[in-house]
Amino acid sequence: MRNYDYREKWKELLTPEIISLLTTIHEYKWKQRLIAKRYTGVLSDLEDTARIRSTKSSNIIDGIYTSDERLKKIVLDKTMPRNRNEQEIAGYRDVLNTIHRDYDYIPIRSTLILQLHRDLYKFRGPGAGGFFKNADNTIHDVDENGNGRFRFQPVSSLETPVAVEQLCAAYDQVLKEMYVDPLLIMPMFILDFLCINPFRDGSGRMSRLLTLLLLYQAGYYVGKYVSIEALIERTKDSCYESLQASLKGWHEETNDYAPFVKYLLGVTTASYLEFFERTKLITSEKMSKPERIAEEIRNHAGTITRAELVEQIPNVSQTTVQRTLTELTKQGRIIKLGASRNIRYKWNWNQEDEHQ
């Protein structure tokens, strides 16, 4: 049985690169809190957007889909799920809402993790979730071309209940040491959770929900306004590479946590930067709604759709977005690409260069 004691292991991670990431996130934490405190009312729309994107992205990673229209209605609790995919999406929504609301009252215990997993599957009926795997499983990841990326044998089903108990106890124990940064322990816990892979189905989604929970409990609330799951989906190749690097030698206790720790800290840093970019438009009191739309397109890498603009800019209606897109296209400030439902827009840098 593996030793999950983190009290010495975390010290091996104090490299200049990781310390730099920790320092940056600490600075961003307080800056984000000040913005959130000042613009509480305005940022509530960002919360809805983040919940929708988080639910969509975390389920897409596990191959669970529905239409954007249906997903939005499910996340906002305006409809009931129609099929198995939508049942699991609705379950993720409810667990996400529980974490947003009650993170301070969810101790890291195996019993609580089982309850969250039960709620993840509650729309599938009794017995669908809330228990550990009853058969051994294998993590076998393949890319979009069907090529295997890595294969890993998790903890056996017989050892799983004890392993999760020991993992939670180790996390609780190390955080009692006041000089340990919880931001450093969080990705170590998540990696070990994934290596245990305690559930027959849903371990990946549970790991992302637990990531958010541990960040909240440590005082890092950026996931309330920006979807961390969407950033993980966007960088899933890097996620798999870091996971593969960090799980080598895991059973022998010779694995290196650093690659996965750097990946999750990097995602956290990127989440704060996205938050600052979005709130820069919201908190610019002198900037009109059309100007905010134009600035969003200008700062967006690549092309963007009308639906994405509506999603990313709170307090701006679909009508205002469409009117602004039409006007910006006439002015030549943006370029319209495609037709019908495939229309996308990009900033016309050539015109901007001509006027400089």
Q: What was the pLDDT predicted at 229?
A: 96
Would you place residue 356 in the very low, low, confident or very high pLDDT band (cuts 50, 70, 90)? very low
Amino acid symbol at 215? L
DSSP string, 80-145: ---SHHHHHHHHHHHHHHHHHHHGGG--S-HHHHHHHHHHHTGGG-TTSSSS--SS---EEEE-TT
**60 pLDDT more than 80:** yes
Q: What was the pLDDT predicted at 122?
A: 95
Least confident among 44-48, 174-178, 343-347, 348-352: 348-352
Q: What was the pLDDT predicted at 148?
A: 61
The mean pLDDT of 29-44, rounded to a whole number, is: 83
DSSP string, 204-250: HHHHHHHHHHHHHHTT--GGGTS-HHHHHHHTHHHHHHHHHHHHTTT
The percentage of the chain sitting over the pLDDT mark of 70, rounded to a whole number, equals 93
The mean pLDDT of 153-173, rounded to a whole number, is: 96
Would you place residue 165 in the very low, low, confident or very high pLDDT band (cuts 50, 70, 90)? very high
| Topology, domain 287-354 | Arc Repressor Mutant, subunit A (1.10.10)
- Please provide the average confidence, as pLDDT, over all residues in the chain: 90
**Which is higher by pLDDT, 158 or 139?**
158
Evaluate whether 9-281 and 287-354 have a shared fold: no
Amino acid symbol at 26? H
Residue extents of the structural domains in the chain: 9-281, 287-354
> CA-CA distance, 95 to 101, in Å (whole number)?
10
**31 pLDDT more than 70:** yes
SS3 150: strand
Q: What was the pLDDT predicted at 138?
A: 85
**63 pLDDT more than 60:** yes
The percentage of the chain sitting over the pLDDT mark of 90, rounded to a whole number, equals 71
User: Look-up: residue for tokens 């438009």?
Assistant: 281
Backbone angles phi, psi at 100, to 5 degrees: -60, -40
pLDDT, tens digit, for every residue of 234-279? 999 999 999 999 999 999 999 999 999 999 999 999 999 999 988 8
b/e burial code for range 291-329 (CB count within 10 A of at least 16 → b)? ebbbbbbeebeebbebebbbebbbebeeebbeebbeebe
| Topology, domain 9-281 | Fic-like fold (1.10.3290)
pLDDT, tens digit, for every residue of 194-237? 999 999 999 999 999 999 999 999 999 999 999 999 999 999 99
pLDDT, tens digit, for every residue of 128-146? 999 999 999 887 766 666 6
Q: What was the pLDDT predicted at 283?
A: 61
Sign of the four-CA dihedral 312, 342, 295, 291: negative
Backbone angles phi, psi at 131, to 5 degrees: -145, 155
pLDDT, tens digit, for every residue of 68-107? 999 999 999 999 999 999 999 999 999 999 999 999 999 9
Would you place residue 150 in the very low, low, confident or very high pLDDT band (cuts 50, 70, 90)? low
Torsion of CA 47, 108, 185, 189, to 10 degrees: -100
Q: Report the alpha-carbon angle 229-230-232, nearest 5.
A: 65
